[in-house]
Each structure stands twice: as structure tokens, then as C-alpha cells.
């Protein structure tokens, strides 16, 4: 059976979107066929596979699979892409909670919910201060931990460009301290309320942009008093505006783009 797909990206973080809101998929998405579709050599190729499904209580539901086939609870860049695709304001379901979409020209503002910062909400393997964790991996020390639907640790350094995140990222991601693995963020200040960010994304690797990483990093920087409540976060793929006040939801604004549409044979990836 032929299945239509939409290829989209947010600042270079790219997605294959399967819209099953009105036309169900021929079968259930598994880790293996999500991984096969995401493969850049033998599949369509993407950082995340996004599946849109009907919802009884909200506009629709969104399921998110990383390139390694693992399902995750949130993806900020994909949420902006889906907002652009949907074309109107909506509240949607994810396994990480409800998200509110506000489409805008060439992108969207997304309400990403209230960040979670307790050690068992990240989760960590044992209790500790998540604002300055007493741990380190070589030159990366004392990170902040934040869960924004996905778990993140954020390291603030003098120059994010000089950190070998390709080597340190997988080591930290798979450390036993993080029972669900972790997304690794390295950030540095480049001006007033302006951060530069590189992200090693759990199940993906180095990425040109990570919306939840930008949100988590902004929250971490605000909690540490490094920036105020509206922060520009510059990733290799471009800029996101993150707004947050203590006790409130995070608002993320940035671009999204539809690249192309096509079809694939379901049985080729089942």
C-alpha cells in the first residue's frame, strides 16, 4: 500500500510527517520501521519520524520517533512544523503532555508547557541538586537538568564551539545516571539575552537544531540568572526566541519549512 508523507524541517532539524488523522496507516509504527524510514541511505531520511493521529479530546495527537527508532515525548522543531502544516491555532496531545500551537508566517509559536526540574522528573538515578549537578565529564562540569517533555542537561561554557560534543555527547547520553538517557546541550553567551547552543540529541546525534534543547537551555540560563525572560538561542541552523517566567509555560517562536511531498510502499519498511 502506498503511503503519503511530507518532508519538513525546522532550522535544518528534519522530519518525515505521516498524516494519519483521516487516513489510517496500514499498520502500527514500530521501532524498526521508524528506524528504517529515518535511514538516510536506504529510507527517506530524517532526524525524527512524526505521526499525526486523531484525538478524542483535542485537535489531534502527535507521536515522535527519533532516528534510532525510539519514541520520545516532545520535539519543539517538529511541533512548529506541524503547526505550519495544520494552519490554525490548536491544542494537541503528545506522550509528553499537551502543546498549544499558534501558526505564524513561515513558522509558529508553540506553548511547550511548564518545565520540570526535580531530580525524579528528569529523571536522574538518584537525588541531587539539578541547578548545579555535582557531576562532570572531563571539561564539562556542574550542568543544569531540565525536562521539557524530553530530558536535558545543559553545560554553560566559555565557547560552545570549542567543545568536542561529538565525542562527549554519546558518553553523557548513555551514562547510568540517566535511566532514560539524556539530551546533551553545551551553551555559551554571545551577548545580552543571547546564547549560542550545540546539542547532542538522544537517539539522533549532533543536530543542526533542537527546539526542546533551546527551551531547556533558556530555562537553565534564566534559573541561573545568566539571562532574562526572553532569550535568543542561536543554533547551527538558525535562531529561536524562547520566553519563560518562573512557574509559567515556555513559549518558543521560530521558523518551519515544508521541503517536499512523496509516497512510499508500506511493505518496503514494515
Count of residues making up the chain: 270
User: Terminus-to-terminus CA distance in the chain, angstroms?
Assistant: 11
261 strand-pairing partners: 6
In the residue annotation, 75 being an active-site residue is answered as yes
The two beta strands, 60-66 and 90-94, are parallel
Contacts for 129 with CB less than 8 Å, ≥ 6 apart:
none
Answer positive or negative: Cα dihedral of 82, 86, 90, 94: negative
The two beta strands, 194-201 and 183-191, are antiparallel
Please pick, among 46, 75, 215, 228, the residue that the annotation labels catalytic. Answer: 75
Please pick, among 46, 210, 215, 228, the residue that the annotation labels catalytic. Answer: 210
In the residue annotation, 228 being an active-site residue is answered as no
Is the bond into 208 cis (omega within 30 degrees of 0)?
no
Q: How far apart are CA 100 and CA 242, in angstroms?
A: 15
User: Which residue from 255, 125, 151, 155 is spatially nearest to 203, judged by alpha carbons?
Assistant: 151
Alpha helices, DSSP H, located in the chain: 31-38, 76-86, 165-173, 211-223
Nine cell digits for residue 169: 555527547
Nine cell digits for residue 210: 533542537
Which residues are identified as catalytic?
A: 75, 210
Amino acid at each position: 500500500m502506498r503511503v503519503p508523507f511530507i518532508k519538513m524541517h525546522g532550522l535544518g532539524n528534519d522530519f518525515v510527517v505521516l498524516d494519519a488523522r483521516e487516513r489510517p496507516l496500514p499498520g502500527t509504527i514500530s521501532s524498526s520501521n521508524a528506524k528504517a524510514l529515518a535511514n538516510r541511505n536506504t529510507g527517506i531520511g530524517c532526524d525524527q519520524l512524526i505521526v499525526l493521529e486523531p484525538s478524542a479530546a483535542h485537535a489531534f495527537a502527535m507521536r515522535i520517533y527519533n532516528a534510532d527508532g525510539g519514541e520520545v515525548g516532545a520535539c519543539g522543531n517538529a511541533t512548529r512544523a506541524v503547526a505550519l502544516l495544520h494552519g490554525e491555532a490548536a491544542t494537541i496531545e503528545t506522550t509528553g503532555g499537551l502543546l498549544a500551537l499558534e501558526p505564524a508566517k513561515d513558522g509558529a509559536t508553540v506553548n511547550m508547557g511548564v518545565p520540570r526540574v526535580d531530580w525524579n522528573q528528569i529523571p536522574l538515578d538518584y537525588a541531587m541538586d539539578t541547578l548545579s549537578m555535582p557531576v562532570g565529564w572531563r571539561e564539562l562540569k556542574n550542568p543544569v537538568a531540565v525536562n521539557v517533555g524530553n530530558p536535558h542537561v545543559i553545560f554553560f561554557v566559555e565557547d560552545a564551539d570549542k567543545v568536542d560534543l561529538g565525542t562527549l555527547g554519546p558518553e553523557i547520553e548513555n551514562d547510568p545516571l540517566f535511566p532514560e538517557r539524556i539530551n546533551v546541550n553545551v551553551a555559551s553567551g554571545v551577548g545580552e539575552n543571547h546564547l549560542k547552543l550545540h546539542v547532542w540529541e538522544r537517539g539522533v546525534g549532533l543536530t543542526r537544531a533542537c527546539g526542546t534543547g533551546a527551551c531547556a537551555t533558556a530555562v537553565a540560563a534564566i534559573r541561573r540568572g545568566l539571562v532574562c525572560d526572553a532569550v535568543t538561542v542561536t543554533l547551527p541552523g538558525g535562531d529561536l526566541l524562547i520566553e519563560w517566567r518562573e512557574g509559567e509555560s515556555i513559549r518558543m517562536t521560530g521558523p518551519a519549512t515544508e521541503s517536499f511531498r512523496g509516497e512510499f510502499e508500506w511493505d518496503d519498511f514494515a
